[in-house]
Amino acid sequence: MNGFSYVGNELCVEQVPVGEIVRSVGSPAYIYSQKALSGSFSAYKEAFSGRKSVIAYAMKANGNLRVLSLLGGLGAGADVVSGGELFRARKAGIPAEKIVFAGVGKTASEMREALDAGILMFNVESPMELDMLSRVAVSMGKSAPVALRVNPDVDPKTHPYISTGLKKSKFGIPADRALSEYLRAASLPGINVVGIHQHIGSQLTQIDPFRDAFDKMTAFARVLAKNGIRVAWLDIGGGLGIRYGEETPPTPGNIGTEILSRLEGLDVGIILEPGRSIVGNAGILVTEVLYVKETEVKTFYIADAGMNDLIRPALYGAYHDLWPVKRREGEGKKGDLVGPVCETGDFLVQDRMIPPVEPGDLLAVMSAGAYGFAMASNYNARPRPPEVLVSKDRFTVIRARESYEDMVRGETVA
């Protein structure tokens, strides 16, 4: 993985040994490589450099302010799905004119916040949301720039929980109703139709779903033009997968070639919403092995990180590679890497070969830069770990470890 390598038997992030970081900040901890973050974003920037484009980072994957600020400094916009994410993006310095607002449940107050900020575009998910946005915009004396999210009914060939472009999905407007809804949108007060939006799913590892969905999008853009609606933006969403194990997903360059080759005759800019593919392989979760528990049927390696720190294995059955922070000689043993949470589903690795480790050793759960801290919780009243950013031979704590007092702030016993 770019940014992570062994020097001798010691795992390093860029030029800093992981063990050195953990001795300073404790375990567990999320650690990110600035080199990997920058490289992943730059691949998108280069792939679409020949076209008017906005790379709106899907900050749901990792919303740390320093990560946002770093990507914003490289030219990224933001794909936000809540008022809180809008606040974070603006706090990190991302320009409002590079922010798109998606999500099926926008409230009137969130709409007002986004209109006040002057965002690039709302990605509208339903007719009732469109009506609400029209009323809010009119009440403020503003015009809301809008793309309707069109559901192309394309199978993304990924986990069903992260498939968003099928007919049965809660997201978007069905393709067969899209034209009539666009014509209605164009007639509504306070609404300025500026784009088309789609997003078919997450962790896509094949190029065919992208190709099929984009073919439908460009065909629909031409239909809209024939009906007097010329859009300025095609928002193709995100969803490009990363390598967790043996996957070989397309590259941003592959996606760029497919998209740019299909734009003949369309005077449009492109918006992309990559998230996981920028931050996923740029981060790890480091955990300390506390105990080794042998039973008649299985060996359990009990660690200080669990499903509250990385829920993907429990939620999706997701695979994360496992690297020892310090390599030991000898053979590993098949077992489960489990956490301290009081749930049977609390595991990070299940029925796999665990590297040779002893209590007190550190393990790195790889590809944890996306949907790690972002989905972490205080379940079992466990403080969330710190986040650390490494740049060359230096590391910085970009979010401090939570304290017990942090967890109860805002509560009362009276």
The three-class DSSP label of residue 225 is helix
Distance of alpha carbon 84 from alpha carbon 25, whole angstroms = 28
* Closest among 375, 364, 336, 365 to 352, alpha carbons compared: 336
- Distance CA(117)–CA(412), nearest Å, equals 34
Length of the chain: 414
Spatial distance between the Cα atoms of 70 and 40, rounded to a whole number of angstroms: 12
- The type of residue at 143 is S
Of the candidates 281, 302, 295, the residue with the CA atom closest to the CA atom of residue 347: 302
343: part of which helix (H) or strand (E)?
Answer: none
Q: At what angle do helices 127-140 and 108-117 cross, to 10 degrees?
A: 50
Among 259, 172, 158, CA closest to 214: 259
Q: Has 342 been annotated as catalytic?
A: yes
Spatial CB neighbours of 328, under 8 Å, sequence gap ≥ 6:
9, 355, 356, 357, 358, 361
Find all residues with CB under 8 Å of 127, minimum gap 6, and list them.
Answer: 173, 181, 184
Question: Angle at which helices 65-73 and 83-91 pack, to 10 degrees?
Answer: 60
Question: What is the token pair recorded at 352?
Answer: 């796999």
CA distance 411 to 414: 9
Cβ contacts of 290 within 8 Å, gap of 6 or more: 302, 303, 304, 340, 359
At residue 264's C-alpha, the angle toward residues 261 and 266, to 5°, is 120
Given 342, 381, 413, 414, the catalytic residue:
342
With residues binned 3-state (H G I as helix, E B as strand, rest as coil), the percentages for the chain, rounded to 5, are 30, 25, 40
Q: Return d(Cα 186, Cα 192) in angstroms, integer.
A: 7
What token pair was written down for 278?
A: 């920028």
Task: Please name the helix (run of DSSP H) or strand (run of DSSP E) that holds residue 402, with its range, or none.
Answer: none
Catalytic machinery residues: 342
